[in-house]
C-alpha cells in the first residue's frame, strides 16, 4: 500500500510528504475499503486497491491542512508538514494530494465511487468550517458537536465502507448497511480521539495533547463537563480560554483534569460505545464472508485504543 501510494506522487516537491506516509499511521480508512470489498461476491481487486490508495491520499491531505489550522507541531512523532516546509508548501501539497486522489478515482470509470468521494470531501470541508465557527463555545450542544464530527470524520469512514462494498459486488442493501456501519464507527472513533486529546500520552499518540482544547475546539467531554457545572464555576474554569482565544497551558491542563475527575471523559467514552453498538447492529444481517471477527476486532479497537 505504501509503495503504491508513493508511486502516484510523481511531482518531486510533493514527494516531500513521503516522510509522513512512511512514519506509520493506522491506515484505518484504506483497510476499511478493502475489508468491505471482501464482503462481496465479486471484488474488483485493482479497483479496491486504487480506491484505498486514493482514500489515504485524501486523508493525508486533510491532516496537512488540519495541522495548519490547528498550528500543530507534531504528527506521527514527526514535525508537521507546515512546520518542516512552510505553510505555503503545505497548503499546495495538500491540494496536490486531493487532485492526485481524484485523478486516480477518475481512472476507475465508476461514477458512484467518484460521486461518493466528492460528497465526502465537501462534508470534510463543511465539518472543519463548522468546527472553526464553534470555537470557544462552551454552550455547544451534543447535537451540534455530533453534526460537526459526522461531517469532518465519520463521512470519510462511511464513504470508505460504502465504496469498498460497492466495488466488492455487495447487494445494494449491504452497501447501505456497511455505509451505516462506517458512519457510526466514525462517530465513535472521533469521540475517543477527543477523549485522548484530554488524557492520552503524547508519546503513544505521536502528537501533542490538549492541542484541540488549546485552540478552543469544544469536544464531547468538555460539553459534558460544562453541563455539570454551575454558571459561576463554568465562568471560572472556561473564562481564560474564551477570553484570550489562546490560553496558557496551565488553564488548559486544569480543564482537562476536571474533565477527568468529573467523569465527563468516562461519560463520553460510554457514548462512543453506544455508537460502536449501533455500527455492529447495522451489519448484523450483512453476509460478511467470514470476516465477522475482523469487524468485532475493529469495534474493540475503536473504544480501547490509546493512539
Residue 249 has pLDDT above 60, yes or no: yes
According to the model, what pLDDT value does residue 212 have?
85
Instruction: Report pLDDT for 18.
Output: 77
Query: CA 154 to CA 59: how far, in whole Å?
Result: 12
- Cα–Cα distance list, 61 to 57, 65, 97, 106 (Å): 6, 6, 6, 18
pLDDT band at 84 (very low <50, low <70, confident <90, very high): confident
Give me the mean pLDDT over the 247-252 stretch. Answer: 79
- Cβ-based burial of 57 (10 A; exposed 0-12, middle 13-18, buried ≥19): buried
Output the pTM of the full model: 0.92
Is the pLDDT confidence value at 24 over 70?
no
Tens digits of residue pLDDT in 191-244: 999 999 998 777 666 666 788 888 889 999 999 999 999 999 999 999 887 766
Cα 16 to chain centroid distance, Å, stands at 23
Q: What is the pLDDT of residue 282?
A: 98
Mean pLDDT, the chain, as a whole number?
91
In this predicted structure, the answer to whether residue 71 has a pLDDT above a threshold of 70 is yes
Residues 9-20 pLDDT 10s: 777 766 778 777
Higher local confidence (pLDDT), 23 or 86: 86
Q: What is the pLDDT of residue 188?
A: 98
Whether pLDDT at 134 is above 90: yes
- Determine the pLDDT at residue 206: 61
Contacts of 159 (CB under 8 A, 6+ apart): 55, 116, 117, 119, 120, 179, 182
Q: What is the pLDDT of residues 266-289, one digit of tens each?
A: 999 999 999 999 999 999 999 999
DSSP H or E stretch at residue 74 = strand 74-75
Indicate if the pLDDT at residue 174 is higher than 80.
Answer: yes
Report all structural domains of the chain as residue ranges with CATH numbers, in order of start. Answer: 2-304 (1.10.600.10)
CB 305 within 8 A of CB 200: no
C-alpha cell at 239: 473564562
Amino acid at each position: 500500500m505504501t509503495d503504491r501510494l508513493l508511486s502516484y506522487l510523481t511531482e518531486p516537491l510533493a514527494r516531500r510528504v513521503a516522510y509522513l506516509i512512511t512514519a506509520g499511521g493506522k491506515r484505518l480508512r484504506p483497510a476499511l475499503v478493502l475489508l468491505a470489498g471482501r464482503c462481496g461476491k465479486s471484488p474488483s481487486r485493482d479497483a479496491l486497491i486504487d480506491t484505498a490508495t486514493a482514500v489515504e491520499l485524501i486523508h493525508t491531505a486533510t491532516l496537512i491542512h488540519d495541522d495548519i489550522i490547528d498550528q500543530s507541531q507534531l504528527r506521527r512523532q514527526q514535525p508537521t508538514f507546515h512546520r518542516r516546509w512552510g505553510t505555503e508548501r503545505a497548503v499546495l501539497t495538500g491540494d496536490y494530494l486531493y487532485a492526485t486522489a481524484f485523478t486516480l478515482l477518475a481512472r476507475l470509470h465508476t461514477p458512484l465511487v467518484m460521486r461518493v468521494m466528492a460528497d465526502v470531501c465537501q462534508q470534510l470541508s463543511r465539518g472543519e468550517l463548522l468546527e472553526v465557527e464553534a470555537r470557544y463555545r462552551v454552550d455547544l450542544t451534543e447535537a451540534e458537536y455530533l453534526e460537526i464530527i459526522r461531517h469532518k470524520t465519520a463521512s470519510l469512514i462511511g464513504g470508505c465502507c460504502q465504496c469498498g462494498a460497492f466495488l466488492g459486488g455487495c447487494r445494494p442493501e449491504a452497501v447501505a448497511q456497511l455505509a451505516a456501519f462506517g458512519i457510526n464507527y466514525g462517530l465513535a472513533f472521533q469521540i475517543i480521539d477527543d477523549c485522548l486529546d484530554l488524557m492520552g500520552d503524547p508519546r503513544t499518540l505521536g502528537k501533542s495533547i490538549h492541542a484541540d482544547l488549546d485552540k478552543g475546539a469544544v469536544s464531547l467531554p468538555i460539553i459534558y463537563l460544562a453541563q455539570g457545572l454551575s454558571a459561576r464555576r463554568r465562568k471560572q474554569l472556561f473564562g481564560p480560554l474564551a477570553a484570550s482565544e489562546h490560553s496558557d497551558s496551565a488553564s488548559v491542563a486544569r480543564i482537562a483534569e476536571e474533565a477527568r475527575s468529573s467523569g465527563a471523559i468516562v461519560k463520553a467514552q460510554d457514548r462512543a460505545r453506544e455508537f460502536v453498538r449501533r455500527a455492529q447492529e447495522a451489519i448484523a444481517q450483512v453476509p460478511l464472508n467470514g470476516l465477522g471477527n475482523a469487524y468485532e476486532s475493529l469495534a474493540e479497537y475503536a473504544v480501547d485504543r490509546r493512539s
